Amino acid sequence: MTANEIEPPTKEETLGDFLKRNGILHFSASEVLTMRRLGVEVDPPRREWWPRIIPTLWLAEMLRSELGCPLVIGNGYRPEPYNARVGGAKNSQHLHFRAVDLDLPMNHRSRALQERFYEVAAGLYLDPAFEALKVGLGLYRPWRGTRIHLDTGFRRRHWKKQYTQPLLETLR
């Protein structure tokens, strides 16, 4: 799985068709384009940006497969006004169509699954096979929780170090 494996979108295909053609089977165009807090679907970003989201969604597919349960995109693409409204970082990768926030669905929020969710996400971040993807990882609760942030293509990093660093250390 490399960014070189992604063919550009054709002029005729929809974002949904482009995602499917690139192996994204469990996440829809509607999910990556819906502004959750407003419940409104935005127009896709410009077509030449579409390949940017594929490596992130490949990792989301792997995470879903490893967990054995569905995941929900809480945020995908964010136009600038919406990003500012929700307090997103000024250079958020959501603005550049490289990021998703993933949630465990309400009926899959056991303590054990929350622990596994964070551990599998951290394991993907640490996996040397994905180093070239420049994975960004955000964990939002101390040690375990129901939401994570994934992005690719910007730079390899993680944040909320007081939450993320201890978990990464236990998995190294």
Domain count, the chain: 1
CATH number for the domain including 85? 3.30.1380.10
Do 120 and 168 form a contact (C-beta atoms < 8 A)?
no
Tell me how far apart the alpha carbons of residues 21 and 119 are, in angstroms, rounded to a whole number: 29
- The sheet carrying 136-139 orders its strands as 72-75, 99-103, 147-151, 136-139, 157-159
Structural domain of 31: 3-171
pLDDT digits (tens, 9 = 90+) for 73-125: 999 999 999 899 888 999 999 999 999 999 999 888 899 999 999 999 999 99
Using CA atoms in the order 67, 72, 74, 77, what is the torsion angle rounded to 10 degrees? 100
Give the global pTM.
Answer: 0.94
